[in-house]
A and B are shown apart, each in its own frame.
Chain A
């Protein structure tokens, strides 16, 4: 059993603030973290390894400092860590990223299961997982809450637009993970971190994975960023203050004025 987990280092977007005057990001003090969905994907893979044995490889693409998310993966129990880092990857969109990650997965040898987070919190696209599945020519189970292995079968509970469904497919397959309600995030102990430093870590370039340079980086990306700008701002709110009773009266006036009380007010 070999499970590959694709992870991404992201800025903690909940900590990002915006300077309303200049419209620029206030980045000071914003930590880099592992994408939370990827953290759960890692935990799922390590849980499966505990149950069934085998090996877990954690893979990421990013600048050299993204090594920290690989190291976290190793400390949590992954066996091998791979960081794809090369200026040739810069500017990769989801298509080019899927291509590069799939090349790395292929290079690791036979894979029974590939796990990803459903999306990254800095881009929210949810496109890289299905892209990797296509490049590898394997079935995908997106938005999965759990994944189980029964012999050659991969089983999962996944979210749908009207509820959820239980599905099954043959390995190899790829699943992207949501965060289940009762999810508890686990962190490695000091000993785990110390031990993880002895584990296998590779840093691979585009050449190492045999990537065709026409398909990576800015050149290989079908989407181009044309412009980046601050979100539009609305007109200033009409601010109301006063005693609770005055505020309630005012609120009812507003609701009346905006015509939201038709069913509620059968008089005046």
Chain B
């Protein structure tokens, strides 16, 4: 419950900080209404400690038998010498890179979990990125992802080995799987974390909330494993250690065919070839509302070719029909972290910024010197994109010819 004590001095500091408009001043005292979600933002700003949230103490459980940081890995199809095969998605290595730090701090093992029809020596790459162990379930039933089959196996692995932390990629698959596992185990799950650390032995999960307008630190103190999803391209990769292999632990789990309740009738691969996909791009040139028309936006394509870049778009640009949704950068699109992000005519709505701010170098071109995009840019070019882009493209072309 939340209570405002007599100590309240009516300073009103808590009123604007509440993300849910749940505080009103009545007779110069803060009064909390039913919109309150007990998030605690007001408790932090109150200068006289007048606001208190009390939670009923749950019996403290003994979690000492829960050890190990797990990373659920995801596979993607690709063709090797014209034969279909499977490889680990890059996000697995990003999660291992981050998981390694957590495991070291806790002095626990870092384990990768692989569910597949066939193991293509995944222990090598997983080991190089820091995994001590690879829990492997190999079964023809696991050729393709299925919510019921994968969640059932994962739940039994978790019950068997009791990890303290489990991380998942916030891909479509991960976002289908992790909540189902969390619901069944009755454990905490924090979505789309942008930062993970250890605080007093607990996993401190930082994530943007409210469309990226505020950050929240989340703990799951009373359940294990503590689970989180992380979007691709958010965590930095460590340098792989060649030759270091993960120890393979084969897990025998019977898979009942009746588990599978959703049947896939047809599957279509529509994404661009790997490399052209925006989340994998090293350089992204992105256009926004300031590009004005689809034709003018398309002029960025040539610049992309010269720079070897992928073409991105803001939500406004996608809404105006300049490009497909799969090219949209932002909270409601794809999160990217290329080496260079060149923002052209993008004002920088918060929801766009949260999707690209972890890029190494951000260069922005905008007419308005006060555009919020400049707040996250390393270089801000104040000028008209319609003049600059053609000239820049031409100048680079000339250099190519020279």
Contacts and interface: CB of A to CB of B under 8 A. Distances in A.
Interface of A: 11, 13-14, 16-18, 20, 22, 24-27, 63-65, 85, 87, 90-95, 98, 121-131, 133-135, 139-143, 155, 159-170, 173, 181, 217-219, 221-234, 237-242, 244-245, 247-248, 250-252, 254-255, 258, 260-261, 263-267
Contacts of B53: 218
Contact of B270 (A22, A95, A164, A181): A164
Contact of A25 (B16, B208, B374, B382): B16
Contacts of B384: 244
A237 B364 contact: yes
B296 to A, nearest CB: 15
A20 B350 CA distance: 12
A180 to B, nearest CB: 10
A94 B179 contact: yes
A131 B179 contact: yes
B179 A25 contact: no
B192 A167 contact: no
A231 B208 contact: yes
Contact of B213 (A16, A65, A139, A141): A16
A238 B379 contact: yes
B171 to A, nearest CB: 5
Interface stretch (B38-46, B108-116, B120-128, B134-142): B38-46
Nearest to B212: A231
A232 B358 CA distance: 11
Contact of A247 (B16, B40, B267, B383): B383
B341 to A, nearest CB: 11
Contacts of A217: 38
A122 B325 CA distance: 20
Given A134-B183, A231-B212, A241-B382, A165 B76 contact: no
Contacts of A126: 175, 179, 191
Determine the main DSSP class of B at the interface with A. mixed
B217 A226 contact: yes
Nearest to A13: B211
Contacts of A218: 38, 53, 55
A16 B211 contact: yes
Contacts of A247: 365, 381, 383, 388
Given A122-B210, A139-B148, A258-B361, 18 more contacts: A63-B33, A94-B179, A94-B189, A134-B183, A140-B147, A163-B268, A167-B264, A217-B38, A222-B189, A224-B219, A224-B220, A229-B214, A241-B383, A251-B365, A255-B340, A260-B361, A264-B306, A267-B402
Contacts of B192: 124-125
Contact of B210 (A25, A95, A223): A25
B175 A133 contact: no
B380 A167 contact: no
A10 B253 CA distance: 42
Interface stretch (B95-103, B157-165, B236-244, B389-397): B389-397
B167 interface: no
Contact of B265 (A64, A141, A167, A248): A167
Given A124-B192, A162-B76, A162-B77, A258 B340 contact: yes
B199 to A, nearest CB: 8
A11 B214 contact: no
Closest 6 CB pairs of A and B: A13-B211, A222-B188, A91-B38, A134-B183, A163-B270, A130-B179
Most buried by B among A222, A245, A247: A222
Contacts, number: 314
Contact of A240 (B209, B349, B380): B380
A241 B283 CA distance: 24
B35 interface: yes
B234 interface: no
Given A231-B208, A260-B340, A167 B262 contact: yes
A11 B265 CA distance: 38
B378 interface: yes
Given A122-B210, A181-B325, A225 B39 contact: yes
Contacts of A93: 188
Nearest to A62: B35
A214 B375 CA distance: 45
A146 B266 CA distance: 15
Interface in B225-276: 261-271
Given A25-B214, A225-B40, A264-B396, A219 B58 contact: yes
B268 A165 contact: yes
Given A168-B263, A228-B214, A237-B374, A98 B183 contact: yes
B215 A223 contact: no
B190 interface: yes
Nearest to A123: B209
A18 B265 CA distance: 46
Contacts of B50: none
B87 to A, nearest CB: 12
B163 to A, nearest CB: 16
